[in-house]
Structure 1
Amino acid sequence: MGVRERMSRGWCLRVGVALTALLAVAAAPGAAVAGAPGAGTPVCQVRDDRLVELSGMVVTDTGYVVVNDGADDESRRRIFFLDQRCAVVRTVAYPSQPRDTEDLAIGADGTIWVADTGDNDRTRRTVAVWRLAPGADKPVLHRLAYPDGPHDAEALLLDRDGRPLIVTKGGSGTVTLYASTTALRPATTTPLAPVGEVVLPTTNTSNPFFFLGRGVVTGAATAPDGHRVALRSYADAFEYDVPDGDVVAALTRGTARVTPLPDEPQGESITYSRDGRSLLTVSETADQPPGTRPTILSYPVATATVATSRPAEPTTTAPTPSTALRPAAGDTDAARDRMWPVAAVGGVLLLALVGLAGVLRRRRPARR
């Protein structure tokens, strides 16, 4: 990352923090889920200097697999295997340069899937997933294309057939699920189709991005037994039961249990522990004080169930940018309470969003 870009990100951070602070008085959500926030329990600390932008993590029998957000440094553009003490024991390089790797998923057979789906500027003609078979020395690239224009996405799940399921980042508390329309093949661009929407519960959990951070999805995970899945924001984890293996139905029609993940610096990773009793997270630390190390944290899974702000049914079209911040008809007061500051202080919010985008943007790579 160059000096000019680092200075720009620092300015955007200051602007974003200052302006979102101005919104704090006016934007406190009503009818929010009252969590019981508490710091997670440290599991281990990642001390490898290449791992400062961790955006995806899965658990294995011997430790963890992690990836950085799309990093400028070539040494960071790898799939990293860690032992149970968070020490790097193996790395796998990509055969070509990824654009913006954001999340990981692991199949029942141990196959690692990497979501190369980040698109802060929404300029990518295609996104991709990388598939690393057990024991393989390089991942295979599969290109994907949205039917309705670019989307920023930072979360990946697998459906009951092992098919990648992309979860958009959203912004207003509603996110869209996309799945491939045909089997994935190398050297071929596979069309995606929207298969449903998820409405996140409204919470009041403290996080660096205030209410903006509660309405986006930055990671996803599947329990080892496959009977639960979790989505995370910068503030919370939302867990859904999947009793029959239908992940899409569970997310779009189910109810969520909320586990607060308060005040993580920039939480974008989530996975389950091997026994499924805990949720594990790790944050990016690139913009934190010198010497700050990523630390894997453990949270006991929630037991209370919280209804979503409105039932979400499968959809055949994704929300457009012009409607992404507008509550849909039928939203409850909780959803409207979350969105009324946008109308009240629209101009200031726009600047705050610009500031947040500057903090999260990694780079502007050439189109692939």
Structure 2
Amino acid sequence: MILRGVVVVVAVLGAVGAPGVAVAAEGGAQRVCKVGDKRLTELSGLAATGDGYVVVNDGSDEASHRKIFFLDRKCKVARTVSYPSRPRDTEDLGVAADGTLWVGDIGDNDQSRDTIGLWRLALGAKTPQLYRLAYPDGPHNAETLLLTRAGTPIVVTKSVGAAGLYEPAGALQAGKTTALRQVGSVTVPLTGTSNPFGLPGRLVITGGAVSPDGTHAVLRTYADAFEYAVTGDDLVHAITEGTPTQIAMPDEPQGESVAYTADGTALLTVSEESDGKPAVIQRYALAGRPAITSPPAASPTAAGPSASSAASPPAKPKAQTVANDSGVPTGLIVTGGFLILAAAILGAVLLRRRR
């Protein structure tokens, strides 16, 4: 009876959608190209370059899958880069303002890792450098890596409800473990977008990206993307305090990645291989978004946060708020929130890897 009551409340609130959040995609998903390479079956990270795409699989048992793959515009593998040691669970990647590629080795389904890793591949480099980091409050599972224009990496946890935002507390150093500090938290709005995991698929963050000019950032769930406007490279403030714009991404097989196109006019996604069918990169046009021709220059970057960022004191966690203009009584939303979390816990097993 309790579970049935939870489902009823969830159904009511799910039908309401995300109050105060606009939808800003033009025409839904458009197919870009099919990823036919048999090594690319568990795609979890995606980034766009001037001549194609970069992708990574999540933690795979096959050595041939544990590489950084560079694709051409037709989704054919143009080259690969190997890791000098075995990664644990690569879940996301991003391209910094100076062209440096960062891969987030941050997955931890069992929440048992003492450290997570960031792999840094500089322009022209043949081998990525590993930097280890540790959470201040115990292990977390995460699938989202964001990069500020100044070069600071931000990890967003895959937590039900409020997800934590963490950044390095000091400069990254090869061969040493750098402490992370929590700088905020975010809860994405609840929507009714259809996805293979139902309610739990709408409550956890599975990927993110920053636009080439740094003026926007996006977080995604298995169902939707939520875009935030960024002012002055203050990515944390934009996510924790801003009201996002929703871009529905219904019924992607297992959508865990999101990226901006090289000109910033659209979002790109790719799912893991589903039912033996190759993954497909999809494009969601952003309404009224002008093309980026010459992104503004970023501050000098290093292998870690800027000096000013490292010296600033830890910020208190902040939860994102979304205006309630849906007409639903606030008491129902609050009560329903607790029930939604209960339902999410009961359904969390659905979010385990199929492997």
TM-score relative to the length of structure 2:
0.82
CA contact (8 A) 2:200 2:347 kept: no
Determine if the alignment matches structure 1 residue 120 to structure 2 residue 109: yes
Aligned match of 1:56: 45
Q: Distance in 1 between matches of 2:212 and 2:317?
A: 31
Q: 1:89 aligns with which of 75, 78, 82?
A: 78
Whole-Å Cα distance in 1 between the matches of residues 140 and 38 of structure 2? 30
TM-score (norm 1): 0.79
Letter in 1 for 2:99: G
Which stretch shifts more, 292-301 or 142-151? 292-301
Partner secondary structure for residue 45 of structure 1 = strand
1:340 and 2:348 are equivalent in the alignment = no
Aligned residue for 1:245?
A: 233
Q: What letter matches 1:165 in structure 2?
A: I
After superposition, the C-alpha distances for 1:42-65 in whole angstroms (9 at most, x for unaligned) are: 000100000010000100011000
Q: Does 1:354 align with 2:353?
A: no
Q: Distance in 1 between matches of 2:151 and 2:354?
A: 30
Aligned partners of 2:185 and 2:208: how far apart in 1? 15
RMSD over equivalenced CA pairs, Å: 2.6
Report if the CA contact (8 A) 1:39-1:262 is conserved. Answer: no
Distance 1:302 1:155, change over 3 A: farther
Matched residues, percent identical? 50
Which residue of structure 2 aligns with residue 215 of structure 1?
Answer: 203
| Count of aligned pairs between the two proteins | 313
Structure 2 gaps of 5+ residues are: 289-313, 320-329
Give the match for residue 154 of structure 1: 143
* Deviation at residue 33 of structure 1 after TM alignment: 2.1
Shift of 1:180: 0.3
Contact 1:202 1:335 in 2 (8 A): no
CA distance in 2, matches of 1:361, 1:192: 30
Does residue 281 of structure 2 align to residue 282 of structure 1?
no
- Which of 3, 10, 19 aligns to 1:27? It is 10
Structure 1: any 5+ residue segments left out of the alignment? 1-19, 304-313, 320-330, 363-368
SS for the counterpart of 2:245 is strand
- The answer to whether the 8 Å contact 2:6/2:339 transfers is no
Please tell me the residue identity of whatever aligns with 1:61: G
Residue number among 178, 182, 190 corresponding to 1:194 in the alignment = 182
| 2-structure distance, mates of 1:262, 1:36 | 14
**Kept after mapping to 2: 8 A contact 1:29/1:334:** no
Distance in 2, matches of 1:335 and 1:204, equals 17
Q: Aligned match of 1:204 in 192, 211, 218?
A: 192
Shift of 1:32: 2.0
Pick which of 57-66 and 157-166 moved more.
157-166
Tell me by how many angstroms 1:67 deviates. Answer: 0.2
